[in-house]
Amino acid sequence: MITGDPTSKVIIGEPDWRALANRIRGWAGEIGFQQIAIADVDLHQAETRLLEWLERGFHGDMDYLERHGTLRSRPADLVPGTIRVISARLNYFPDDARDAESVMGEPDLAYVSRYALGRDYHKVLRNRLQQLTERIRADVAPWEQSAGKTLHTRVFTDSAPVMEVELAAKAGLGWRGKHTLLLNREAGSWFFLGEIYIDLPLPVDAEQTEHCGVCRRCIDICPTQAIVAPYQLDARRCISYLTIEHKGSIPEALRPLMGNRIYGCDDCQLVCPWNKFARTADLDDFRVRNGLDGPRLADLFAWTEAEFLTRLEGSAIRRIGYERWLRNIAVALGNAPTSAEVVNALRSRTDHQSALVREHVGWALAKHEGGEKVNDKP
């Protein structure tokens, strides 16, 4: 601290940025994050890969990825003034969930990606990132006031054009695996990522080296062979994309490969050797809700739209809407063993108002009724 005449304004010296970074790590732990790391904003190599990926059409009908252009790979363009990105990870695997592989092994049950069994992660993560931002803001407030500066920050939780895996890898939280997800030697991949864009010159952390070696289990296990090469995902074939992002008809050739997965897919993570080091979440927010860790397909298909909206309030699943919910379950019912329960469930939706639902119900019934398709309405 520098002081002059007692009647003059007190001038606060520039903060010790390394010490501040260490305090941020401590606050992050108190708030519930397992780890944070800091990166600069140079993503030019990632930008080249992104543009090539878009050029190949691997993004499917996620047109927003094209519309945002290079905003994803240029943080300072998205949030002017940004010179650092604080990346945070938060474990999500629920400790009370049924065994994932056993659920997928029972085709009458519905499989929901483990990240979506509890509360919507966007809300959980954003709240904690905002708390961390406020701790930073309070810490630097005296210096800001003295120097006539204003701290600029913005929080992201998979809610804007942000290359979160690239930023997390650059910050040293892990490395991008061959399935394109982030891997951490001590935590595997069962965690969410969130970011704080900030205009403070915090010291950056070192990147990690890759540790996938010759392993290709994630590539070989993918039901639809969406991982077309190491580190290259064709979203158009990915079950997570098909059940969540894709709004239209699911390609018929891919439907039998989806099994009973009605929301997302975890196969590449379940088979990854690094996930033997993963830790379960210690937050009540991520505990299983509505028995979604292994419900019967027929029971879920019977939900009315009102039940769907009420039961899944606060869940990430709700955002796909009731129509796609029924579409996804119809496919899974088509892949289930033929039974009176399955056939009756499908027949109950043959007159559904949605042509999309009717189409997938008709396909599913045809599988159970010897190829006799249900006539669709015009």
Q: Which of 302, 354, 314 is nearest to 110 (CA)?
A: 302
CB 235 within 8 A of CB 59: yes
Total residues belonging to the chain: 378
C-alpha to C-alpha distance for 142 and 164, rounded to whole angstroms: 31
250-280 core/surface letters (b: 16 or more CB in 10 A; e: else): beeebbebbbbbbbbbbbbbbbbebbeebee
What is the domain class of 296-378 according to CATH?
Answer: mainly alpha
What is the spatial distance between Cα 345 and Cα 299, in angstroms, rounded to a whole number?
9
**Run of H or E residues at 182:** strand 182-183
pLDDT per residue of the chain (378 residues) written in tens, 0 to 9:
344 444 445 567 899 999 999 999 999 999 999 999 999 999 999 999 999 999 999 999 998 888 877 888 999 999 999 999 999 999 999 999 999 999 999 999 999 999 999 999 999 999 999 999 999 999 999 999 999 999 999 999 987 889 999 999 999 999 999 999 999 999 999 999 999 999 999 999 999 999 999 999 999 999 999 999 999 999 999 999 999 999 999 999 999 999 999 999 999 999 999 999 999 998 999 999 999 999 999 999 999 999 999 999 999 999 999 999 999 999 999 999 999 999 999 999 999 999 999 999 999 999 998 744 444 433
To the query of whether residue 158 is one of the catalytic residues in this protein, the response is yes
What are the backbone dihedrals phi and psi of residue 38, each rounded to the nearest 5 degrees, phi first? Answer: -125, 135
Closest C-alpha among 194, 123, 121, 193 to residue 155: 194
> What are the residue ranges spanned by the domains of the chain?
17-98+117-198, 296-378
Q: Is the pTM of this model over 0.95?
A: no
Tokens 């407030």 belong to residue: 141
Selecting among 77, 158, 199, 299, the annotated active-site residue is 158
Distance CA 345, CA 300 (A): 10
Question: Which residue's structure tokens are 């595997």?
Answer: 188
| Neighbouring C-alpha atoms within 13 Å toward the C-beta of 325 | 22
